[in-house]
Amino acid sequence: MKNSIIILGLLISTTGLVFGQEKQVTGIILGQDEKPLQNAVVKLNNTSQEVATDTDGAFSIKVSEEVNKPVLAISHEGYLNKTVDISNQENVKITLQPTPDNKVNNIEEVVVIAYGTQKRGEVTGSVGRVDAQSFKDRPIARVDQALTGQIAGVKTRSTTGKPGEPLEIRVRGTASISASNSPVYVVDGMVVDDMANISPDDIQSIEVLKDAASTAMYGSRGSNGVVIVTTKKGTSGKPSFSFSQYYGVQTIEKKLDIMNSSEWIDFATEAINKRWVALAPGNSASDSYAVRANYFGLANATDYNLANINYMIDPRWGTNQVANIDWQDAFYRPAAIQSYQLAVRGGSKNVKYMISGAYFDQEGLAINTGFNRFNLSAVIDVNISDKWKAGIALRPSYSQSYGATVDGKDNLAHKMLSMVPVAEVSAGLYTNFWKNTRYRWAGSTQSPIGVMEETTNNTNEFRLLSSLYVSYDILPDLNIKISGGATNNFNLNNGYTPTFDLITNIPGQVSIASRRTVNYNRYLGEALLSYKKSFGEHDINAIAGYSAENYRTTTQYNRNKGFPNDDLETFNFTQSASVLNSEYTAAEWMLISMFGRVNYDYKEKYMVSASIRRDGSSRFGWNNLWGTFAAFGAGWKVDNEEFLKDVKWLNNLKFRYSWGENGNNSIGDYRAFGTLSGGNYSFGGSLSNGLIPNTIPNPDLTWEKTQSSDFGFELGLFNRIDFTADYYIKKTKDLLLEQPIPAVTGYTTMWKNVGSVQNKGLELELTTKNLTGAFRWNTSANIAFNNNKVLQLGTDNAPIYTGFSNSTNIIKVGEELNSFYLYEAIGVLSTADINNASVAKTTGAIAGDVKYRDVNGDGVINEEDRHIIGGPTPDYYWGFTNTFSYKNFDLSIFFQGQKGGYSYALLGRAIDRTGMGTTVNAMGNWVNRWRSDENPGDGKTPRLDGTTGSLLDTRWLYDATYIQLKNVTLGYNFDQDLASKLKISNLRVYISLENVWRKDHYYGGYNPESVQSDGTDYGAYPNAKVYMMGINFNF
């Protein structure tokens, strides 16, 4: 690695030697709609100098004083060539006009596919694309955030708003029960685990391969789609610098509706009075605190710490003698977000480089949480000779996330929401913390504010993504490329929980420290032979390759308690009183592959492609180590037929079809093999150490296989309208599943290939140029429909129960994966219902309890009345973007959302059940609870002391439909004349608002998207609204 860095520096330094008496000319190339044109070719007359524009349409070229009357010649497919005299100019803005036949559209766009590139018009598969232009002004921390709402069939979901966390990405639905449903990620041709260490500012484009013909070249990893990231590269000319920066403020997107102090006091008063009245004859709800204290024989009635909270009301309620607290306002705060990026690009005819550095910092909404990251990137490409080329890329990054765990069951957001909104004035936010005793009418939970402030939970991660290649042109049409890459990660998590001083109600509490270190290294080597040849009107593009990949990870975890000094937060475990955990694990797997593909094109009318890949994975049984995956596709460009050549209003008319098979090897290591674990056994009357079988092997365990068919249609009209439609059918079989086995075997479960799942759907994309000229208006829209169904589950098709406590969801043949399987609440029982024998009830139900649907009609509410009520998959999801520009101003408005699907709010249920008592807070709907037949409330919320709180029913099942104004950006591009005076170019300032507004029906959590794959949400970290300003410029 050290040698690579030295070579990189030497190569870059040599580029500065070639410049003498010359000037640097910079500029930007725009298309008809005044949008930057990428890959426009800029040539200097009477020289061999030639550069291409970047994603911003920008270029930089050196001009020697020896060139008399220097002129730039600019060309781009689909546009008229243009020349510009630059004798007295150093910065230019050039607009190209479309060719007279008006046949300009996105079919000439070059898209990245598996192991290569291809003109979009020649692609036979389904490929979606996002350019950097569409997200460069948005406050995104990770590359995956750029995909939200941009490509039909690509569903992203923010499962947590925690800073730095990835999005969940699904391409064409969920197909697997136990294996991964995530796509494979490829950065500049190299397969990586995720895109965490790629700065969004370094991205040139993102392609998503959706159908099997496009993804089959990735074989056993392509069944869930492929996300290909292409980064920016170097250019010829003097060093050109670019700088971008933004700063913003975040606020919580939505607070949860829980009872405030006055509402909770009313709630607690009613509950306590009910218990007091029922305690003894003659008791009245109007009995004073003193009367009740006397009943319990309290000698000191004013010592509220002695009060019997089940029957006594705090007389200070409603006065300034107790603190009224909004825990959400205390727990969440406005938080800063900022980003800085500096890049330099340049080179000579034979050496091109790009070096960039970026810093991103995001405070978390929850106090004392946040994320920051440093990125470096160095990419260099060298033309060693006419036939030899080489390149190297180094991308180190360092990130830190910090703060106690907020989201999830029994974690701090859950505890915070459960805190009663009343506390002793002397304790305030720090009730039950340090030396403050807890408020008598509250639970025993420690102050979540104190825990957040005093708990250490820091994760530091260093990543290095490196790659290099060498290519050689064997013949003019035949090339061989050898490449290698590595992903090296070191992850360190330190956790420390102090003793929190002397807390009287937690005797013997001691400090706890933990440390987890994870090292994983992934190495990839590939050899690729490519052949490209034209024979008259026939074009052939073929590749063949070999790939070998190795992955190894080690984990060390220690957790001890009883450290002598909290101030030191020592991680010297020899100083602790006792060991809680000490573990070491290691795992390794390998993948070997051979692959090939042929693309054929005749007259740019008829396209055929075929590919095959054979993978060998160490994760599967000895009988099924290898899998073969094939695909083919065909396309017909109807608009290139002679009978349509003269139809000027038709830009594009194309039909395509593809079929293919992929695999899925994304399961845990050693699932197919029998493993051993340590244990003791009796030998000679004493215990001895030994090994015992831990899991049962399955030598027949094999790949999940997904077969997919795609029918595509593309239409372009008037050089203003582009429409794409895809209909697909995707069937996944041999599902990988851990199934119960007979106890007589000595084991409980075994990994098997069981069942099949089908996804089928329709994807539509539309882009239009609504207005052109001085005022321009463009629209981009996409919508995707997906239907998910389980086709088979083993020989007996027995259903599988999943979700919370394996009780909220079911996997059943004929139904959607992870369908909700619940009691259906239909209201609240009245006294008339109780007296009506024909109304089904739970055992012991009284007026005010939940009323359930009697599904089987037997007159009794029991387990037999649970039934399937929808699932987590939306009916459709969509994105809709409008961009407007006038002179130097531009405005972008981006909406996205979904219709249908359900979310089950486990967090809402945790603070919403009947019979919870009065020592915790509850959801705001309890203000409208049932109190009597005359005061039934909202007709949905039962009595506060009901008996059905343990039933998992539809009261916490929410329609996940939402519409969101995701982003609004207003920008201003300064005139080049002004920018030139400042010695800069392409100066742009903007304001951007993210997560501006959302309309949904979700009240049991912060965000309807923040659910797990089974549709359940147990208190995900809330998302943030972001208000920010930014600036970009080159120099």
**DSSP-assigned letter for residue 670:** T
* CATH code of 80's domain: 2.60.40.10
Count: domains in the chain: 1
Q: Is the overall model pTM greater than 0.95, yes or no?
A: no
Within-domain flag for 55: yes
For residue 89, tell me if it sits in a domain.
yes
Residues in Cβ contact with 668 at an 8 Å cutoff, skipping those fewer than 6 apart = none
Q: And the tokens for 77?
A: 């497919």
Residue 491 is predicted with a pLDDT of 96
Residue with tokens 């972008």: 892
Residues 6+ apart with CB under 8 A from 724: 152, 712, 713, 714, 715, 763, 764, 765, 766
Q: Which residues contact 93 (CB under 8 A, 6 or more apart)?
A: 27, 28, 30, 976
Which string of DSSP letters, residue by residue, matches 177-201? SSS--PPEEEETTEEES-STTS-GG
**Is 26 among the domain residues?**
yes
| Interatomic CA distance for residues 332 and 339, integer angstroms | 22
- Could you say which DSSP state residue 860 is in? B
Judged by DSSP in three states, 330 sits in helix
Q: Is residue 46 part of a domain?
A: yes
Could you identify the residue written with the tokens 């019979």? 915
3-class DSSP state for residue 639? Answer: helix
The conformation of residue 438, written as its DSSP 8-state character, comes to P
Structural domain including 55 reads 2-95
What are the CA-CA distances from residue 929 to residues 258, 273, 633, 1002 (Å)? 13, 16, 60, 19
What single DSSP character describes residue 134? G
Measured in residues, the chain has a length of 1035
Residue 418: strand, helix, or coil: helix
Q: What percent helix, strand, coil does the chain show, rounded to 5?
A: 15, 50, 40
Residue 21: inside a domain: yes
| Vertex 170: Cα angle to 165 and 175 (nearest 5) | 130
627, β-bridge pairs: 615
Rounded Cα distance between 699 and 214, Å, is 31
pLDDT of residue 15: 40
Contact predicate 108/78, CB 8 Å: yes
CB 280 within 8 A of CB 1026: no
CB-based contact 545:115 (threshold 8 Å): yes
Distance of alpha carbon 108 from alpha carbon 900, whole angstroms: 37
- Is there a domain that residue 859 lies in? no
> For residue 34, is it within any domain?
yes
Residue 82 belongs to some domain of the structure: yes
**Residues 181/187/193/197 CA torsion (nearest 10 deg):** -120
Asked if residues 648 and 253 have their Cβ atoms less than 8 Å apart, the reply is no
Those residues of the chain that have pLDDT short of 70 are 1-22, 32-33, 48, 77-78, 99-109, 500-509, 568-577, 682-683
**pLDDT number for residue 32:** 66
